[in-house]
C-alpha cells in the first residue's frame, strides 16, 4: 500500500513510472474556458502588428495635418502683417494731408479760390450787445 519505486540501473533508458496504489488522486490542471482562453500569443501577434501599423499611419496623418495648418497660419500672418504695414503708411499720408488742410494758409487759399470775403476785423458778441436789442 505504499509507493513502489522502480529499480534504477544504468541499463534502463526508459523513464521510470510511478505507480500509486493509494486512493488519493490529485486532480490535473485543466485549461480555463474563460474569455481569454481562446487567445494565444501567436494569434495576437498579427493583430498587434496591424494595430501598430495603423497607429503609425494615423500619427503620420496627424503630423502632416498639424504641419500644414501651422505653415498655413504663417502665410496668413505674413499677409495680415503686410496689410497692416500698408494701412500704417496710408494713415501717415492722411495725417499729413489733414494737417495741410487744417492750416491757416490752406484755409485762406481755399477762401480766395471760392471768392469768399476776407476777414479784416473780428467782432465777438457779448451779453451786453444781446441785451441791448
Residue range 85-125, pLDDT digits in tens: 999 999 999 998 888 777 777 777 888 888 887 767 767 66
CA dist 57 and 50 (Å) reads 11
> Which band of pLDDT confidence, cut at 50, 70 and 90, is reported for residue 74?
confident
The cell numbers describing 110, all together, are 481755399
Segment 39-47 shows an average pLDDT of: 76
User: Using 50, 70 and 90 to split pLDDT, how confident is the model at 130?
Assistant: low
- When the pLDDT of each residue in the chain is averaged and rounded to a whole number, the result is 77
Distance CA 80, CA 35 (A): 60
pLDDT reading at 39 higher than 70: no
Distance of CA 58 to the CA centre of its chain: 15
Q: Which of 12-16, 53-57, 123-127 has the highest mean pLDDT?
A: 53-57
Mean pLDDT for 50-77 is 92
Assess contact for 26 and 47: CB atoms under 8 A.
no
**What is the pLDDT, as a whole number, of residue 37?**
60
Amino acid at each position: 500500500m505504499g509507493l513502489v519505486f522502480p529499480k534504477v540501473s544504468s541499463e534502463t533508458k526508459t523513464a521510470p513510472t510511478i505507480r500509486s496504489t493509494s486512493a488519493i488522486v490529485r486532480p490535473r490542471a485543466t485549461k480555463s474556458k474563460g474569455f481569454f482562453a481562446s487567445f494565444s500569443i501567436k494569434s495576437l501577434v498579427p493583430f498587434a502588428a496591424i494595430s501598430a501599423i495603423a497607429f503609425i499611419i494615423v500619427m503620420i496623418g496627424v503630423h502632416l495635418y498639424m504641419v500644414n495648418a501651422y505653415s498655413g497660419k504663417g502665410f496668413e500672418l505674413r499677409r495680415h502683417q503686410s496689410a497692416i504695414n500698408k494701412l500704417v503708411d496710408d494713415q501717415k499720408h492722411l495725417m499729413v494731408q489733414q494737417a495741410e488742410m487744417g492750416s491757416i494758409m490752406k484755409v485762406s487759399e481755399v477762401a480766395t479760390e471760392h471768392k469768399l470775403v476776407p476777414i479784416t476785423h473780428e467782432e465777438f458778441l457779448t451779453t451786453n450787445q444781446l441785451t441791448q436789442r
